[in-house]
Amino acid sequence: MAKIAVSRSHPRYLSLFYRDMLANGVKKGLTSLQGLTAHGRGEAFDYLIGEKTCQFALSAIKTASAMLILAKYPVLSINGNTSVLIPKEYIQLAKLLDAKLEINLFHKSSVREQKILNYFKHLGAKEVFLADTVQITTIKSNRRKISSKGQAKADVILIPLEDGDRTQALISLGKKVITIDLNPLSRTAQKATITIIDNIVRAIPILVETIRIFQHYPRKQLLEMVQKYDNSTVISQALAHIDSRLNLLISK
């Protein structure tokens, strides 16, 4: 990736850093132009949340870790934004879980698909699947295309940064979907089995560390965590957190 030209002393350094990363991603043909506006929507929600990993996100991350460890065939979905924001940590996660990596683009482009695949291989990913002949017939967009070796066979799928109808369609097919989305109101956030309401750049490293610890836990304990989890509570807690932050600011 190109060097990021932002001074570390800038009060919004991290925000500018990730914007630059995505802008470089567009220049390299990895991220879609639309990915920049999608990131802006995420940033707006990050402001409302307070730009930190909250308790509701940690609770979702813990359950997601348990679910991914218990999964028989976990698949991690990659799009143009995730491919530049946290590629190394994503590959690390796949190795840790022995999970499959699959590229699923919303804005159709076989050239971009191939560039993301090459980039992941260059960073050390062994195998990366592309969408092939399998289609989820209930979906109209490009998200209907999945891999016969990846999501078609998966029992648990991580689908971050997506406000779409794929999550509901995959759940209707009997699969479990974990998402990471700063917007608790997005369709994917609302429909997923587990919604991690946090910035992907903060959430994935915590997910990796939690999985490292939970891998030593007994299966029964992990199963209990998954059974006890209620996603609607987590979404309500995120909305209540935003509401109380705004009320506090209004009363100041």
Q: Residues interacting with ligand PTJ, by CB under 6 A?
A: 32, 34-35, 38-39, 41-42, 45, 79-81, 105-107, 161-164, 180-183, 186, 199-200
**Residue closer to ligand PTJ, measured from CB, 38 or 94:** 38
What's the N-to-C CA distance of the chain in angstroms?
43
Q: Residue 103 Cβ, how far from ligand PTJ at the closest point, in Å?
A: 9
**C-beta of residue 96 within 8 angstroms of C-beta of residue 211:** yes
Per-residue buried b or exposed e for 94-127, using 16+ beta carbons within 10 Å of the residue's own CB: beebebbbbbbbbeeeeebbebbbebbeeeebee
For residue 145, list its beta bridge partners: 135
Per-residue buried b or exposed e for 164-187, using 16+ beta carbons within 10 Å of the residue's own CB: bbbbbbbeeeebbbbbbbbbbebb
Return all residues near 116 (Cβ < 8 A) that are at least 6 apart.
30, 78, 80, 83, 103, 105, 128
Q: Residue 224 Cβ, how far from ligand PTJ at the closest point, in Å?
A: 28
Q: What is the Cα 193 distance to its own chain's centre?
A: 13
CA dist., res. 210 & res. 219, Å (int): 15
**Residue closer to ligand PTJ, measured from CB, 57 or 222:** 57
**Residue closer to ligand PTJ, measured from CB, 77 or 222:** 77
**Residue closer to ligand PTJ, measured from CB, 53 or 199:** 199
Q: Residue 162 Cβ, how far from ligand PTJ at the closest point, in Å?
A: 5
**Residue closer to ligand PTJ, measured from CB, 129 or 222:** 129
**Residue closer to ligand PTJ, measured from CB, 41 or 153:** 41
Closest by Cα among 120, 159, 156, 129 to 143: 159
CA dist., res. 151 & res. 74, Å (int): 8
**Residue closer to ligand PTJ, measured from CB, 31 or 65:** 31
Q: Residue 227 Cβ, how far from ligand PTJ at the closest point, in Å?
A: 27
Q: Residue 64 Cβ, how far from ligand PTJ at the closest point, in Å?
A: 14
Count, in order, helices (H) and strands (E) of the chain.
Answer: 11, 8
Q: Residue 136 Cβ, how far from ligand PTJ at the closest point, in Å?
A: 15
Q: Residue 193 Cβ, how far from ligand PTJ at the closest point, in Å?
A: 17
Q: Look at the alpha carbons of 25, 30, 32, 38 in this order and tell me if their dihedral is positive or negative.
A: negative
